[in-house]
Structure 1
Amino acid sequence: MTSIDIRLREWHEDDAPAVLGAFQTPDLRRQAPFPVVTLKDAVGWIAAWTGVGHAFAVVAEGGTVVGNVAVAGIDVHDNGWVSYWVLPAYRGRGVATAATEKLARWAFDERGLFRLELGHRTDNPASCRVATKAGFRPEGVERGKLCYEGVRHDVERHARLATD
Protein backbone atom coordinates (compact mmCIF):
# COMPACT_ATOMS: atom_id res chain seq x y z
CA MET A 1 0.00 0.00 0.00
CA THR A 2 1.08 3.55 -0.57
CA SER A 3 1.32 6.28 2.01
CA ILE A 4 -1.39 8.91 2.25
CA ASP A 5 -1.31 12.56 3.25
CA ILE A 6 -2.75 13.20 6.68
CA ARG A 7 -3.38 16.15 8.95
CA LEU A 8 -4.17 16.44 12.64
CA ARG A 9 -7.14 18.33 14.02
CA GLU A 10 -9.10 18.55 17.24
CA TRP A 11 -11.77 15.90 17.74
CA HIS A 12 -15.38 17.07 17.19
CA GLU A 13 -18.52 15.57 18.66
CA ASP A 14 -19.71 14.73 15.14
CA ASP A 15 -16.68 12.40 14.83
CA ALA A 16 -18.45 9.99 17.20
CA PRO A 17 -19.39 7.51 14.42
CA ALA A 18 -15.72 7.17 13.45
CA VAL A 19 -14.73 6.60 17.09
CA LEU A 20 -17.50 4.04 17.55
CA GLY A 21 -16.40 2.20 14.40
CA ALA A 22 -12.77 2.20 15.52
CA PHE A 23 -13.51 0.64 18.88
CA GLN A 24 -15.55 -2.13 17.31
CA THR A 25 -12.38 -3.65 15.86
CA PRO A 26 -11.10 -6.40 18.17
CA ASP A 27 -7.56 -5.07 18.61
CA LEU A 28 -8.72 -1.51 19.39
CA ARG A 29 -11.62 -2.51 21.63
CA ARG A 30 -9.31 -3.09 24.58
CA GLN A 31 -7.50 0.21 23.98
CA ALA A 32 -10.46 2.26 25.15
CA PRO A 33 -10.48 3.23 28.85
CA PHE A 34 -14.14 2.16 28.98
CA PRO A 35 -16.41 0.18 26.64
CA VAL A 36 -17.36 2.21 23.55
CA VAL A 37 -20.45 0.44 22.25
CA THR A 38 -22.87 3.31 21.51
CA LEU A 39 -22.62 6.74 19.89
CA LYS A 40 -23.10 8.23 23.36
CA ASP A 41 -20.04 6.26 24.55
CA ALA A 42 -18.06 7.57 21.56
CA VAL A 43 -19.05 11.15 22.37
CA GLY A 44 -17.93 10.43 25.93
CA TRP A 45 -14.57 9.14 24.69
CA ILE A 46 -14.02 12.39 22.78
CA ALA A 47 -15.07 14.49 25.80
CA ALA A 48 -12.90 12.43 28.17
CA TRP A 49 -9.75 13.99 26.67
CA THR A 50 -10.68 17.43 28.04
CA GLY A 51 -8.19 18.38 30.72
CA VAL A 52 -6.14 15.16 30.59
CA GLY A 53 -4.15 15.60 27.41
CA HIS A 54 -4.22 16.57 23.79
CA ALA A 55 -5.86 14.15 21.38
CA PHE A 56 -6.07 14.76 17.66
CA ALA A 57 -8.13 13.12 14.96
CA VAL A 58 -5.89 11.87 12.17
CA VAL A 59 -7.63 12.93 8.99
CA ALA A 60 -6.98 11.83 5.41
CA GLU A 61 -7.73 13.79 2.28
CA GLY A 62 -11.45 14.38 1.99
CA GLY A 63 -11.86 14.69 5.74
CA THR A 64 -12.08 10.98 6.58
CA VAL A 65 -11.02 10.23 10.16
CA VAL A 66 -8.50 7.38 9.96
CA GLY A 67 -7.02 7.37 13.45
CA ASN A 68 -6.04 9.10 16.66
CA VAL A 69 -2.80 10.40 18.10
CA ALA A 70 -2.47 11.88 21.56
CA VAL A 71 -0.17 13.04 24.29
CA ALA A 72 -1.33 12.74 27.89
CA GLY A 73 0.14 12.25 31.33
CA ILE A 74 2.02 15.53 31.01
CA ASP A 75 4.00 16.14 34.17
CA VAL A 76 5.93 18.97 35.83
CA HIS A 77 9.13 17.81 34.10
CA ASP A 78 7.64 18.48 30.63
CA ASN A 79 7.28 14.78 29.86
CA GLY A 80 4.28 13.32 28.07
CA TRP A 81 2.93 9.89 27.13
CA VAL A 82 2.11 9.29 23.45
CA SER A 83 -0.55 6.95 22.12
CA TYR A 84 -1.88 6.27 18.65
CA TRP A 85 -4.27 4.06 16.75
CA VAL A 86 -5.21 3.72 13.09
CA LEU A 87 -8.25 2.09 11.54
CA PRO A 88 -7.38 -1.30 10.00
CA ALA A 89 -8.12 -0.15 6.43
CA TYR A 90 -5.41 2.52 6.71
CA ARG A 91 -2.66 0.51 8.39
CA GLY A 92 0.61 -0.19 6.60
CA ARG A 93 0.49 3.13 4.75
CA GLY A 94 2.62 5.26 7.05
CA VAL A 95 -0.35 6.93 8.73
CA ALA A 96 0.63 6.17 12.33
CA THR A 97 4.25 7.17 11.75
CA ALA A 98 3.34 10.46 10.05
CA ALA A 99 0.77 11.28 12.74
CA THR A 100 3.20 10.46 15.55
CA GLU A 101 5.91 12.62 13.95
CA LYS A 102 3.46 15.54 13.59
CA LEU A 103 2.32 15.13 17.18
CA ALA A 104 5.92 15.10 18.43
CA ARG A 105 6.75 18.30 16.53
CA TRP A 106 3.61 19.94 17.94
CA ALA A 107 4.35 18.75 21.49
CA PHE A 108 7.92 20.05 21.39
CA ASP A 109 7.31 23.29 19.46
CA GLU A 110 3.85 24.36 20.62
CA ARG A 111 3.38 22.66 23.98
CA GLY A 112 6.99 23.03 25.11
CA LEU A 113 7.47 19.42 26.16
CA PHE A 114 10.98 17.98 26.40
CA ARG A 115 10.46 14.20 26.57
CA LEU A 116 7.83 12.02 24.95
CA GLU A 117 7.41 8.37 25.89
CA LEU A 118 5.36 5.53 24.47
CA GLY A 119 5.10 1.82 24.96
CA HIS A 120 3.99 -1.15 22.90
CA ARG A 121 3.54 -4.83 23.61
CA THR A 122 6.64 -6.75 22.62
CA ASP A 123 4.47 -8.98 20.44
CA ASN A 124 3.39 -5.96 18.34
CA PRO A 125 6.23 -5.40 15.84
CA ALA A 126 4.11 -3.00 13.75
CA SER A 127 3.80 -0.59 16.67
CA CYS A 128 7.54 -0.91 17.30
CA ARG A 129 8.21 0.08 13.67
CA VAL A 130 5.94 3.13 14.06
CA ALA A 131 7.79 4.24 17.20
CA THR A 132 11.22 3.74 15.68
CA LYS A 133 10.38 5.42 12.35
CA ALA A 134 8.89 8.38 14.27
CA GLY A 135 12.22 8.88 16.06
CA PHE A 136 11.43 7.21 19.38
CA ARG A 137 14.41 5.25 20.66
CA PRO A 138 13.91 1.99 22.57
CA GLU A 139 14.81 2.25 26.25
CA GLY A 140 13.97 -1.14 27.66
CA VAL A 141 11.34 -3.74 28.42
CA GLU A 142 8.84 -3.49 31.26
CA ARG A 143 8.10 -7.09 32.15
CA GLY A 144 4.49 -8.16 32.68
CA LYS A 145 3.20 -4.57 32.55
CA LEU A 146 -0.14 -5.22 30.80
CA CYS A 147 -2.78 -7.84 31.46
CA TYR A 148 -5.43 -8.71 28.88
CA GLU A 149 -7.87 -11.53 29.53
CA GLY A 150 -5.65 -12.91 32.29
CA VAL A 151 -2.49 -12.95 30.15
CA ARG A 152 0.47 -10.74 31.12
CA HIS A 153 2.37 -8.91 28.38
CA ASP A 154 5.78 -7.28 28.34
CA VAL A 155 5.98 -3.71 27.04
CA GLU A 156 8.91 -2.06 25.27
CA ARG A 157 9.28 1.61 26.20
CA HIS A 158 10.52 4.16 23.68
CA ALA A 159 11.28 7.86 24.12
CA ARG A 160 12.03 10.87 21.99
CA LEU A 161 13.60 14.07 23.31
CA ALA A 162 13.18 17.57 21.95
CA THR A 163 16.94 17.54 21.36
CA ASP A 164 16.95 14.32 19.29
Structure 2
Amino acid sequence: MRERVDASAGLQLRSWQVGDASAVLAAFADPLMRGQSHEPVDSARAAERWITARGDQWAAGSGYSFAVVDGGGRVLGQVCVGPVDLRHGTGWVSYWTTAPARGRGTASRACRAVARWAFDDAGLFRLELGHRTNNPASCGVARAAGFAVEGRQRQKLEYDGVRYDVELHARLATDPEPASS
Protein backbone atom coordinates (compact mmCIF):
# COMPACT_ATOMS: atom_id res chain seq x y z
CA MET A 1 0.00 0.00 0.00
CA ARG A 2 1.18 3.49 -0.78
CA GLU A 3 2.54 5.46 2.15
CA ARG A 4 2.41 8.76 0.26
CA VAL A 5 -0.78 10.32 -1.11
CA ASP A 6 -1.38 13.65 -2.86
CA ALA A 7 -4.30 15.32 -1.11
CA SER A 8 -4.50 18.38 -3.36
CA ALA A 9 -2.22 21.08 -4.69
CA GLY A 10 0.40 21.74 -2.03
CA LEU A 11 -0.86 19.14 0.43
CA GLN A 12 0.42 15.58 0.83
CA LEU A 13 -0.08 12.64 3.17
CA ARG A 14 3.04 10.63 3.99
CA SER A 15 4.22 8.18 6.61
CA TRP A 16 5.56 9.64 9.83
CA GLN A 17 9.33 10.04 10.13
CA VAL A 18 11.57 10.32 13.20
CA GLY A 19 12.56 13.79 11.98
CA ASP A 20 8.94 14.88 12.63
CA ALA A 21 9.39 14.58 16.41
CA SER A 22 9.78 18.32 17.04
CA ALA A 23 6.63 19.05 15.01
CA VAL A 24 4.71 16.37 16.94
CA LEU A 25 5.92 17.76 20.26
CA ALA A 26 4.88 21.30 19.26
CA ALA A 27 1.47 20.08 18.09
CA PHE A 28 0.73 18.30 21.36
CA ALA A 29 1.81 21.37 23.36
CA ASP A 30 -1.28 23.15 21.99
CA PRO A 31 -4.06 23.20 24.65
CA LEU A 32 -6.59 22.08 22.00
CA MET A 33 -4.63 18.84 21.62
CA ARG A 34 -4.96 17.91 25.28
CA GLY A 35 -6.36 14.41 25.55
CA GLN A 36 -5.66 13.51 21.90
CA SER A 37 -3.07 10.89 22.83
CA HIS A 38 -3.31 7.94 25.20
CA GLU A 39 0.01 8.95 26.73
CA PRO A 40 1.32 12.49 27.21
CA VAL A 41 3.50 13.75 24.36
CA ASP A 42 5.51 16.17 26.46
CA SER A 43 9.14 15.49 25.53
CA ALA A 44 11.22 14.75 22.45
CA ARG A 45 11.45 11.10 23.56
CA ALA A 46 7.67 10.89 23.99
CA ALA A 47 7.19 12.36 20.49
CA GLU A 48 9.57 9.75 19.07
CA ARG A 49 7.63 6.99 20.86
CA TRP A 50 4.39 8.40 19.42
CA ILE A 51 5.87 8.26 15.90
CA THR A 52 7.22 4.74 16.44
CA ALA A 53 3.77 3.59 17.60
CA ARG A 54 2.24 4.90 14.35
CA GLY A 55 4.75 2.82 12.37
CA ASP A 56 4.06 -0.25 14.52
CA GLN A 57 0.31 0.06 13.86
CA TRP A 58 0.96 0.33 10.11
CA ALA A 59 3.19 -2.77 10.15
CA ALA A 60 0.54 -4.73 12.07
CA GLY A 61 -2.24 -3.62 9.70
CA SER A 62 -4.23 -2.25 12.62
CA GLY A 63 -4.04 1.41 11.66
CA TYR A 64 -2.69 3.68 8.96
CA SER A 65 -1.47 7.06 10.16
CA PHE A 66 -0.28 9.79 7.83
CA ALA A 67 1.51 13.05 8.49
CA VAL A 68 -0.27 15.84 6.61
CA VAL A 69 2.46 18.06 5.13
CA ASP A 70 2.63 21.10 2.88
CA GLY A 71 4.72 21.39 -0.28
CA GLY A 72 7.80 22.22 1.77
CA GLY A 73 7.40 19.18 4.02
CA ARG A 74 6.15 21.16 7.06
CA VAL A 75 3.85 19.05 9.25
CA LEU A 76 0.32 20.49 9.32
CA GLY A 77 -1.40 17.63 11.13
CA GLN A 78 -2.33 13.98 11.06
CA VAL A 79 -5.03 11.85 9.49
CA CYS A 80 -5.43 8.21 10.45
CA VAL A 81 -7.57 5.20 9.61
CA GLY A 82 -7.59 2.88 12.56
CA PRO A 83 -8.52 0.70 14.17
CA VAL A 84 -9.14 -1.28 11.01
CA ASP A 85 -11.39 -4.33 10.82
CA LEU A 86 -10.35 -6.18 7.66
CA ARG A 87 -13.05 -8.83 8.11
CA HIS A 88 -15.77 -6.22 7.68
CA GLY A 89 -13.77 -3.70 5.65
CA THR A 90 -14.21 -0.89 8.17
CA GLY A 91 -12.02 1.72 9.76
CA TRP A 92 -12.24 4.71 12.07
CA VAL A 93 -10.94 8.05 10.80
CA SER A 94 -9.33 10.56 13.12
CA TYR A 95 -7.52 13.78 12.40
CA TRP A 96 -5.90 16.82 13.94
CA THR A 97 -4.18 19.91 12.63
CA THR A 98 -1.59 22.29 13.99
CA ALA A 99 -2.75 25.75 15.00
CA PRO A 100 -1.39 27.45 11.82
CA ALA A 101 -3.23 24.95 9.60
CA ARG A 102 -6.67 25.33 11.20
CA GLY A 103 -9.48 26.99 9.30
CA ARG A 104 -7.83 26.54 5.89
CA GLY A 105 -9.52 23.30 4.75
CA THR A 106 -6.44 21.23 5.58
CA ALA A 107 -8.28 18.61 7.65
CA SER A 108 -11.16 18.17 5.21
CA ARG A 109 -8.79 17.79 2.23
CA ALA A 110 -6.72 15.28 4.21
CA CYS A 111 -9.84 13.31 5.20
CA ARG A 112 -11.06 13.21 1.58
CA ALA A 113 -7.64 11.94 0.49
CA VAL A 114 -7.33 9.32 3.22
CA ALA A 115 -10.86 8.07 2.49
CA ARG A 116 -10.04 7.62 -1.19
CA TRP A 117 -6.79 5.87 -0.19
CA ALA A 118 -8.64 3.60 2.28
CA PHE A 119 -11.19 2.58 -0.34
CA ASP A 120 -8.78 2.19 -3.27
CA ASP A 121 -5.56 0.96 -1.64
CA ALA A 122 -6.54 -0.55 1.71
CA GLY A 123 -9.68 -2.24 0.37
CA LEU A 124 -12.01 -0.83 3.03
CA PHE A 125 -15.71 -0.26 2.38
CA ARG A 126 -16.95 1.79 5.35
CA LEU A 127 -15.21 4.56 7.26
CA GLU A 128 -16.56 6.10 10.45
CA LEU A 129 -15.62 9.12 12.50
CA GLY A 130 -17.05 10.93 15.45
CA HIS A 131 -16.72 14.30 17.12
CA ARG A 132 -18.01 15.92 20.27
CA THR A 133 -21.28 17.69 19.57
CA ASN A 134 -19.79 20.90 20.96
CA ASN A 135 -17.13 20.91 18.21
CA PRO A 136 -18.74 22.45 15.10
CA ALA A 137 -15.37 22.80 13.32
CA SER A 138 -14.83 19.04 13.40
CA CYS A 139 -18.37 18.51 12.15
CA GLY A 140 -17.58 20.82 9.23
CA VAL A 141 -14.49 18.77 8.42
CA ALA A 142 -16.51 15.54 8.40
CA ARG A 143 -19.25 16.93 6.18
CA ALA A 144 -16.79 18.55 3.74
CA ALA A 145 -14.99 15.21 3.46
CA GLY A 146 -18.22 13.44 2.46
CA PHE A 147 -19.05 11.79 5.78
CA ALA A 148 -22.82 11.65 6.36
CA VAL A 149 -24.31 12.08 9.83
CA GLU A 150 -25.63 8.79 11.19
CA GLY A 151 -26.54 9.56 14.76
CA ARG A 152 -25.56 10.55 18.26
CA GLN A 153 -23.72 8.50 20.85
CA ARG A 154 -24.86 9.80 24.21
CA GLN A 155 -22.17 10.73 26.76
CA LYS A 156 -19.56 8.62 24.99
CA LEU A 157 -16.47 10.67 25.88
CA GLU A 158 -15.25 12.03 29.21
CA TYR A 159 -12.75 14.87 29.55
CA ASP A 160 -11.88 16.43 32.90
CA GLY A 161 -14.90 14.87 34.59
CA VAL A 162 -17.42 16.07 31.97
CA ARG A 163 -19.29 13.66 29.67
CA TYR A 164 -19.84 14.61 26.02
CA ASP A 165 -22.19 13.35 23.34
CA VAL A 166 -20.55 12.33 20.06
CA GLU A 167 -22.05 12.75 16.61
CA LEU A 168 -21.26 9.75 14.41
CA HIS A 169 -20.53 10.16 10.68
CA ALA A 170 -19.75 7.54 8.03
CA ARG A 171 -18.68 7.36 4.42
CA LEU A 172 -19.03 4.33 2.16
CA ALA A 173 -16.89 3.40 -0.81
CA THR A 174 -20.05 3.68 -2.90
CA ASP A 175 -20.87 7.24 -1.78
CA PRO A 176 -20.32 9.98 -4.33
CA GLU A 177 -17.02 11.83 -4.12
CA PRO A 178 -17.50 15.11 -2.20
CA ALA A 179 -16.93 18.38 -4.02
CA SER A 180 -13.48 19.88 -3.51
CA SER A 181 -13.34 23.01 -1.42
TM-score interval, normalised by the smaller of the two chains? over 0.9
Give the one of 20, 27, 33 matched to 1:15. 20
User: For 2:29, what is the secondary structure of its paired residue?
Assistant: coil
Alignment partner of 1:45 is 2:50: yes
Aligned to 2:120: 109
Asked if 1:74 corresponds to 2:79, the answer is no
Instruction: Specify the SS of the correspondent of 1:23.
Output: helix
Give the Å deviation of 1:4. 7.1
In 2, Cα distance between equivalents of 1:71 and 1:45: 16
Pick one of 10, 25, 33 that aligns with 1:5.
10
- 1:160 is aligned to 171
Aligned partner of residue 62 in structure 1, secondary structure: coil
Does the C-alpha gap of structure 1 residues 72 and 24 become closer, same or farther in structure 2, counting only changes over 3 Å?
same
| Alpha-carbon separation, structure 1, partners of 2:71 and 2:155 | 39
Cα distance in 1 for residues equivalent to 2:148 and 2:67:
25
**Equivalent position of 2:150 in the other structure:** 139
Partner of residue 109, structure 2: 98
User: Which segment drifts farther, 23-32 or 108-117?
Assistant: 23-32
Percent identity between the two aligned chains: 56
> Which stretch shows the higher mean deviation, 48-57 or 126-135?
48-57
Q: Cα offset for 1:29?
A: 2.1
Of 137, 140, 157, the residue aligned with 1:126 is 137
Query: Aligned with 1:98: secondary structure?
Result: helix
Number of aligned residue pairs: give it. Answer: 162
What per-residue deviation string (whole Å, max 9, x for no partner) do you get for residues 115-145 of structure 1?
Answer: 0000000000000000000000000000000
Q: Which runs of 4+ in 1 moved over 2 A?
A: none
Equivalent pair of 1:141/1:156 in contact (CA under 8 Å): yes
CA distance in 1, matches of 2:71, 2:15: 16
**1:89 matched to which residue of 2?**
100
Query: Does residue 64 in structure 1 map to residue 74 in structure 2?
Result: yes
RMSD over equivalenced CA pairs, Å: 1.2
Q: Please say if residues 139 and 158 of structure 1, whose CA atoms lie closer than 8 Å, have aligned partners that are also in contact.
A: yes
Counterpart code for 1:108: F
Instruction: Tell me, in whole angstroms, the C-alpha distance in 1 between the residues paired with 2:116 and 2:170.
Output: 14
* 1:72 CA drift (Å): 0.5
Secondary structure (helix, strand or coil) at the match of 1:11 reads coil
**Which range moves more in the overlay, 4-13 or 54-63?**
4-13
**Residue identity opposite 2:84 in structure 1:** I
